[in-house]
Amino acid sequence: MNSMDIRRTFLDYFIQHQHVQLSSSQLVPANDPTLLFVNAGMVPFKETFLDISQRTTPRATTVQKCLRVSGKHNDFETVGSSPRHHTFFEMLGNFSFGDYFKREAIQLAWGLLVQVLQLPLERLWFTVYRDDDEAARLWEEVGAPRERILRFGEKDNFWTMGETGPCGPCSEIHYYQGSDLAQQQASGVNSDDDDYMEIWNLVFMHYNRDIQGHLTPLERPCIDTGMGFERLVAILQGVKNNYETDLFQPLIERLQQLLGQQSSHYRAHTSLYHTIVDHSRAITFLLADGIAPANEGRSYVVRRILRRAAYLGQRLGMERPFLAHMAQTVIEKMGPVYPELVLKQAYIQQLITDEEGRFRSTLVTGLQHLEAMVQQSGAQESGILPGSVAFTLHDTYGFPVDLTQKVLSERLVKVDLEGYEESRREQQERSRSGSCLKQSVESLSELVRELPPTEFVGYTRLECQGTIL
């Protein structure tokens, strides 16, 4: 099954079960200052969970654009080394707004995975929140073997979107991707073992969490589920790494082509290739949703992702800007599903070209400066780069500090982040006092402009120490 068919199969299944298909919202949450980016399918429905009278339909299904690069759900540093964590990804979801609850949510998930998609039961594991006997019983009811139903605590099985908001215990489905079925163990689930992959989270929305951490029950319990689309595609296409699916392969091929390299080069630098193709998708989607690179907030996130991708391209030997070409392939492949990419194509390419061009002009000298400073400061021996150097890289060469950290991480050198913050504060102080001086000069000039024209009276009168002579 290709990824297009898989997306469609998911949506059609829930439509058949009386869900209304809604389109993905933008990556920036509407009117929600608690969150930088939409990090799950439920985010656009936050207000509906909190106030059920706002619902326009009792059941909905979506494929939601998500980004996990900040806040509670942040996978930025995991991308590349993880076979299944992306910055940008699509989350498949079905939602009940005060309509069905646990039993039907579990039956629906089982029906799709086991009956429609025919995933082998001997590879599936189910988890429930520690005291959720009801969910455990319901999984048994649909046919899950008891020994494959596991209990976990807060960290894995109590879902919250951020510090505040709707939340509740959850139940997840995990998939064993290892080659030897007999090797499976319960201890692999929710561990660092990549043979076990979490695929679907069913959240039983019960509460709203406030800033003090207090939980208030929702008026009507709701269902929110989220399944990583790329992970499901990997399973159905029989690959262990999301990047080996048809969602990423065309991007990897394009990158290889732009580098003028063969597949052996990809095999030697897999993690860099994966990071670049991941970031290319994130940048393209962020720009399509109107977030242009700049130095503040959300815009700085785009800048950081783009600059990291540009740096990694340079490391792979790319001699000229290439990210607009990568975006082109993203648009070609994803445009049929996300028409905003096609509509904004020219704008996306222009912004990427400008930003990458600007950064490339300082990238090489910035790296040379970093190298010289590593030598000079003895950072290689001490394992710590002075914060002031990281600040100069940021201020003069446009290196976001996380990029400097990334560059140095391969050499096991860390950045003194406190020192970096101190340099940043000092610079802010300087520019503040600089702007005070500028302000005084400006108000003086204003005053002068407001004064009536001066008449020269020196031809007829002389003034000396206040006395008219």
Interaction site with ligand ATP (CB under 6 A)? 40, 68, 73, 75, 85-86, 89, 91, 198-201, 226-228, 230-231
CB of 351 to ligand ATP, least distance (A): 24
Residue 248 binds which one of Mg ion, ligand ATP, none, with CB within 5 to 8 A depending on kind?
none
For ligand ATP, the closer of residues 192 and 381 by Cβ is 192
Coil, helix or strand for 345? Answer: helix
For ligand ATP, the closer of residues 245 and 392 by Cβ is 245
CB of 165 to ligand ATP, least distance (A): 13
Question: Does residue 201 touch Mg ion according to CB under 5 A?
Answer: yes
Residue 116 DSSP code: I
Phi/psi at 312 (5° precision): -65, -35
Burial of 181-220, coded b for 16+ CB within 10 Å and e otherwise, reads eeebeeebbbeeeebbbbbbbbbbbbbbbeeeeeeeebee
Residue 32 binds which one of ligand ATP, Mg ion, none, with CB within 5 to 8 A depending on kind?
none
Residue type, 333: K
Which structure tokens are listed for 386? 């002075």
Rounded CA gap, 368 and 358, in Å?
17
Phi/psi at 452 (5° precision): -70, 155
Q: Which residue has its beta carbon closest to ligand ATP?
A: 228
CB of 282 to Mg ion, least distance (A): 16
CB of 405 to Mg ion, least distance (A): 21
CB of 168 to ligand ATP, least distance (A): 12
Q: Please, are residues 92 and 1 in contact by the beta-carbon 8 Å criterion?
A: no
CB count within 10 Å of CB 303 equals 22
Residue type, 251: L
Q: Which of 351, 274, 328, 214 is nearest to 84 (CA)?
A: 274
Interhelix angle 297-315/401-409, rounded to 10 degrees, is: 30
CB of 328 to Mg ion, least distance (A): 30
Residue 398 binds which one of ligand ATP, Mg ion, none, with CB within 5 to 8 A depending on kind?
none
E strand or H helix that includes residue 155: helix 154-157
**Secondary structure E strands in 323-461:** 384-385, 414-415
CB of 148 to Mg ion, least distance (A): 17
For ligand ATP, the closer of residues 65 and 394 by Cβ is 65
Residue 404 binds which one of Mg ion, ligand ATP, none, with CB within 5 to 8 A depending on kind?
none
Coil, helix or strand for 435? Answer: helix
CB of 197 to ligand ATP, least distance (A): 7
Residue 199 binds which one of ligand ATP, Mg ion, none, with CB within 5 to 8 A depending on kind?
ligand ATP
Tabulate helix, strand, coil % of the chain (nearest 5): 50, 20, 30
CA–CA distances in Å: residue 254 to residues 249, 271, 273, 280, 347: 9, 16, 11, 11, 21
For ligand ATP, the closer of residues 237 and 377 by Cβ is 237
Residue 390 binds which one of ligand ATP, Mg ion, none, with CB within 5 to 8 A depending on kind?
none
For Mg ion, the closer of residues 201 and 225 by Cβ is 201
Count of residues of this chain found to bind Mg ion when the rule CB under 5 A is applied: 2
Residue 407 DSSP code: H
Residue 140 binds which one of ligand ATP, Mg ion, none, with CB within 5 to 8 A depending on kind?
none
Rounded CA gap, 451 and 123, in Å?
85
Q: Please, are residues 330 and 278 in contact by the beta-carbon 8 Å criterion?
A: no
Q: Which residues contact 189 (CB under 8 A, 6 or more apart)?
A: 125, 127, 150, 174, 196
For ligand ATP, the closer of residues 199 and 301 by Cβ is 199
For ligand ATP, the closer of residues 85 and 269 by Cβ is 85
For ligand ATP, the closer of residues 173 and 390 by Cβ is 173
For Mg ion, the closer of residues 193 and 354 by Cβ is 193
CB of 257 to Mg ion, least distance (A): 32
For Mg ion, the closer of residues 24 and 201 by Cβ is 201
CB of 159 to ligand ATP, least distance (A): 6
CB of 299 to ligand ATP, least distance (A): 21
Residue 151 binds which one of ligand ATP, Mg ion, none, with CB within 5 to 8 A depending on kind?
none
Q: Please, are residues 243 and 269 in contact by the beta-carbon 8 Å criterion?
A: no
Interacting span for Mg ion (CB under 5 A) from 110-118, 193-201, 215-223, 405-413: 193-201
Question: Dihedral of the CA atoms 196, 202, 206, 210 (nearest 10)?
Answer: 60
Interacting span for Mg ion (CB under 5 A) from 43-51, 196-204, 216-224, 335-343: 196-204
For ligand ATP, the closer of residues 201 and 275 by Cβ is 201
Give the binding site for Mg ion (CB under 5 A): 198, 201
